[in-house]
Structure formats: C-alpha cells, structure tokens
Amino acid sequence: MPWDPAPAPGADGGRDPERRTGSDGARRGAGVRTSRVGIVRGLWGASHPGPTLVVSALALALGLAVSLEAWRLVLLTLAVFAGQLSVGISNDAFDAVRDHAVGRRDKPIARGDIRVGQASSAAFTALAAALLLSAPLGWRMLALHALVLGSAWSYNAGLKATSASIVPFLLSFGAFPSLATLSAPDPAVAAGWAWIAGAAFGAAVHLTNVLPDLDDDARTGIRGLPHRLGGRVSATMAAIAVVGGAVAVLLGPTDGDISTIPPLSWIFFTGVVAVAVVTVIRALVRPPGRILFRLVMGAALLLAAQLVASGSALAA
C-alpha cells in the first residue's frame, strides 16, 4: 500500500544534509561503501517499518479470518511484507532529491546512509520477491497483488503531487481484503462492503498522514489532494470516511439486518465513531498536526479489527 509518513524531528534542527562538512560527508560515504550492516539498516529504515509491519500484520489477520491453510497464510504474509518493502523503499528513492532539499534527517538516503541506486535495486528486488511469493497462491491473487503494487508505485512515482493522489490509496486498500480471499483454495474476490471498508481505510490514511508535511511539500511542489483541501477539511473527511467504512462492515455481513449484528461488531463500531467525533472536534478547534493522524489511525485500526472480525463473510 502507498504510505508516506511524516518526518521525525531532526537532531540537527533540520539542516540540509548536503551542508555537512566535507570530512563528515566523506566519513558517511565511506561507511555506505564498506558496511553491509549499515546498508541493511538503512534500507530497513527507508522501508517505513511501522506501516510495513502494520499492513503485513493485517494481511496475516485477514488470512486467519478466512481460515487459510498454514502454507497459504505464510506465503500471503511474506508476499505482502515483500510488497510493502518495495513500496516503502521506492518511495524514499523517488523522494531523495526532495528530502535533501527540505533536510529530512529521518530519511536514510537524505542522511547519506545509503545511496539512491542501492535503494532502487532493493525496491525492485523486493517487488520481484512479492510477485514470486504470490504466484503459488494462484493467478488471480498474483494479478491483483501486481495491480495493488503498481498502484502504490504510481503514487510514489508522481501521483502524490496531483489532485488524483488519493486514487492509489482507494484502489490498493480497497482491493486489500481480496488478497486474502483470493489466496484460498476456492478463490473469490472480497464482498463489496469489504472493498468499501478497505477504500475508506486508505482514504483516511492518505488524508491525514501528510498533515505535518504540508509546508515542506509546498516548498518542493507537492500538491496532492490533502494539500489542496487544507488540513482541517482533510482531517474531517478522513474521519467521515472511517465512519462510512465502519457502517459498511457493520451492515454488510448481515445484509442490513440489524437484529443479527453480533455485540463485538457494535463495540468496534462505537469505538470508531467515538474516535472520529473527537477527531472532527479537534480539527475544527486546533491547528492540524500529528495528533490528528494518530486519532484517525486509531479509528482506522479499529475499523481493520472490525473487518477481520467479520471472518468468513469477507468472501463475496
């Protein structure tokens, strides 16, 4: 899935890494050439480890929810993990010049820990591994995973700077539940309500995770949909999207029959709505920032748990 986390505070106050002293830069350059451990560490940092692990864990949970056999579950999880590595590392490779320009000290390439060429090679290797791991699960799963990853890479390659920046998130996350259902012995795409829930999750992620980056992005010409909408509108729309996804998961498995909805689903739904309301109130009374991202992600993770809890109903 596409994911572009906000920067962490820089230890040097956000100085441009290209302004370091020559001796410092030389030492770092030598380290890149000689330390394989340093390269691996840099590539792991460039992969956006948090989102990579969260999305991989979600794939594992969805696989368990649809009762995949052990070997299928392992392949699904590893394929998604490799795919997320490719998305995260390619994102940093594409953004290397921009990250240097704004002094992103949290990015391994901008710090000089790894080179763009090393990141690009690793990203393509991870992409190939993701597709190879998907192949034994069937051509349908392979084709959909290729589509999901192609969508994510298109965001990294340039769509992030356009008004269509949300499209890869809607497509990749919307299709995500189907990666699990298509990995089953009798493959089937996920139910329509699961697509809606996944797309809502993706929309919420995109609309909020760039909020702390708005000023830096503006200086380097990045004007995706959240930048055009503004922080408050983006956060409010993200909260509404998550609630819409929660409604879909609440009513979808029961065909709208409220009387048959299990108590656990109501608990998850109530949690999503409560966090969404807090998010909207905060967005209206305070400047947008990282706290809004955390609130929306909390609601989105509750939505993901609600989706996993639906179990076998995921298949259309």
Q: 67's torsion region: left (phi>0), alpha (psi -120 to 50) or beta?
A: left
Min mean pLDDT across 3-17, 103-117, 212-226 is at 3-17
Give the 3-state secondary structure of residue 190. strand
Q: What is the CA radius of gyration of the chain?
A: 20
Min mean pLDDT across 44-48, 49-53, 86-90, 283-287 is at 283-287
* 76 token code pair: 């699904």
Q: Quick one: average pLDDT of 201-218?
A: 79
pLDDT value for 10: 42
Min mean pLDDT across 93-97, 106-110, 209-213 is at 209-213
* 234 token code pair: 């983006």
CB atoms under 10 Å from CB of 286, counted, come to 11
* 251 token code pair: 């009513």
pLDDT tens figures, 2-45: 766 544 444 344 444 444 433 344 334 434 444 889 899 999 99
> Considering the entire predicted model, what is its pTM?
0.84
pLDDT value for 5: 55
Nearest to 310 by CA among 251, 227, 225: 251
- Which residues are within 8 A (CB) of 69 and not within 5 positions of it... i.e. 6 or more apart? 185
- Which residues are within 8 A (CB) of 136 and not within 5 positions of it... i.e. 6 or more apart? 75
- Which residues are within 8 A (CB) of 245 and not within 5 positions of it... i.e. 6 or more apart? 196, 197, 198, 199, 200, 201, 204, 272, 303
pLDDT tens figures, 226-285: 888 888 888 899 999 999 999 999 999 888 788 888 888 899 999 999 999 998 898 888
pLDDT: is 310 or 179 the higher one? 179
Evaluated on CA atoms 89, 93, 94, 100, the torsion sign reads positive
* 188 token code pair: 């089937």
* 310 token code pair: 């639906």
pLDDT value for 3: 60
* 301 token code pair: 């993770």
pLDDT value for 293: 75
With beta carbons less than 8 A apart as the criterion, state whether 195 and 175 touch.
yes
With beta carbons less than 8 A apart as the criterion, state whether 146 and 175 touch.
no
pLDDT value for 180: 96
DSSP letter assigned to residue 183: T
pLDDT of 109 above 80: yes
CATH number of 191-316: 1.20.120
How far, in Å, CA of 264 to CA of 45, rounded? 36
Amino acid at 80: V
pLDDT value for 221: 73
Distance of alpha carbon 293 from its chain centroid, rounded? 13
Percent of the chain residues topping a pLDDT of 90: 53
Mean pLDDT of the chain: 85
